Amino acid sequence: MSLNRKLKYSLAINEALSQMMEKNPEVFLLGQGVKSAWYVGNTCQGLLEKFGEKRVIDTPLSENAITAIAAGSAIVGMRPVVAHPRMDFMVLGSDAVINQIANWSYMFGGESFVPIVIWAIINRKGEQGAQHSQALQSTFAHIPGLKVVMPSGPNSAKGLLISAIKDDNPVLFIDNRELYDSEDFVPEEIYETKIGKAVIKKQGSRATVVAISHMVGQVLSAVEDIDVEVIDLLSIKPWDKDLVFESVKKTGRLIVVDEAWNDFGIAAEIIASVAEKGLLKSAPRRLCLPNAPAPSAESLEKEYYLNKEKIKYAVQSAVRSL
């Protein structure tokens, strides 16, 4: 694969959608604002002009209805990508997701599939407040029958979205608008990033740091001069237990960084799974958000969200205490 060009995250999403829609006429896009370059952060720019209104469908503000319509089309052989520009309001489509999409293949003995991608976008900061700032990956990862992925940059965004569209099972593809201006080397051709596989972004020996989505770049920047191993989880469900276990077996210590709430989250699940294996030499650490709704005031947002300085301090403290 050629890696001779850099691409922004938003354009990598656009390219994945365009290439898969060109390759497979059963792939189509629907959701709120998909015809608006602004509404979904340029990720859908030009798709309406290229594929027309029958394959790029701008919908009313009715999350449950559009998710159910996408599910129905998937059951009869289409491959919809349904966009939720704010993950918070995807909750209004939870009936279709949790009660129908996640259970369909199981209820029909594996003879019927729902090849649907539910594309949810996390929006944060900018004084957007509690109802527009929620990262709900652990909520949906708890549901049997759903796969959940969270890319960390343009390369993994394109590869994971292509893998999700090709998958015969329902996949929740969660991206973060804070990544949209990030750049990375992205191949021009179609390629897949395997769902369920994590990658080591930095080798180290004193501790394992597992990071998710936007936090991967923040962690790498924070620990560049600290001897820790950094794992980009990429896939939340299934998650790469083998790679994480192997790393912790080597380091004996674990820190999980996930910019979601602290309680009952992905970080807790990873730590519990590692603890059950008896691989830890010291107490593990979670670095997550406070158990409180997101504030609206900019001054409070600075205290609420994670950043490079907070991550570096936490990792240094953990390593010093060894």
DSSP secondary structure, 236-296, as one string: EES--HHHHHHHHHHH--EEEEEEEESTTSHHHHHHHHHHHTT--SS--EEEEE-SSPPPS
- What SS3 state is found at 119? strand
Fold of 199-320: Rossmann fold (3.40.50)
- Answer yes or no: are the C-beta atoms of 111 and 156 closer than 8 Å: no
Antiparallel, parallel or unpaired: β 79-84 and 6-8: unpaired
- Answer yes or no: are the C-beta atoms of 159 and 166 closer than 8 Å: no
Q: Which residues pair with 8 in a beta bridge?
A: 183
Quickly state the pLDDT bin for 1 (edges 50, 70, 90).
low
Residue 322 has pLDDT above 70, yes or no: no
* Domain over 6-185 is classified CATH 3.40.50.970: yes
The residue behind tokens 């010291």 is 282
Rounded average pLDDT over 203-214 = 97
The overall average pLDDT reported for the chain is: 94
C-alpha 237/C-alpha 149 separation (Å) is 7
Under 8 Å CB-to-CB from 308, ≥6 apart: which residues? 218, 221, 222
Residue 3 has pLDDT above 70, yes or no: no
Strand order in the sheet with 117-122: 56-58, 27-31, 79-84, 117-122, 171-176, 147-149, 235-237
Under 8 Å CB-to-CB from 116, ≥6 apart: which residues? 70, 71, 74, 79, 80, 81, 82, 101, 170, 171
Which segments of the chain belong to CATH 3.40.50.970?
A: 6-185
Q: Between these two residues, 260 and 321, which has the higher pLDDT value?
A: 260
Q: Which pLDDT does position 179 carry in this prediction? A: 94
- What SS3 state is found at 210? strand
Quickly state the pLDDT bin for 38 (edges 50, 70, 90).
low
- Choose the catalytic residue: 15, 53, 84, 132: 132
Quickly state the pLDDT bin for 5 (edges 50, 70, 90).
confident
Q: Is 63 a catalytic residue?
A: yes
Which segments of the chain belong to CATH 3.40.50.920?
A: 199-320
- Answer yes or no: are the C-beta atoms of 273 and 254 closer than 8 Å: no
Q: Which two tokens stand for residue 63?
A: 């999350």
Under 8 Å CB-to-CB from 102, ≥6 apart: which residues? 143, 144, 145, 146, 170
Q: Is 229 a catalytic residue?
A: no
- Choose the catalytic residue: 49, 53, 63, 188: 63
Rounded average pLDDT over 104-126 = 91
Range list of H helices, the chain: 9-23, 47-51, 63-75, 87-90, 94, 104-107, 137-141, 154-166, 214-222, 241-251, 266-276, 298-304, 308-320
Residue 253 has pLDDT above 60, yes or no: yes
Q: Note the pTM of the prediction, 2 decimals.
A: 0.95
CA 318 to chain centre: 26
Q: What are phi and psi of 11, to 5 degrees?
A: -75, -30
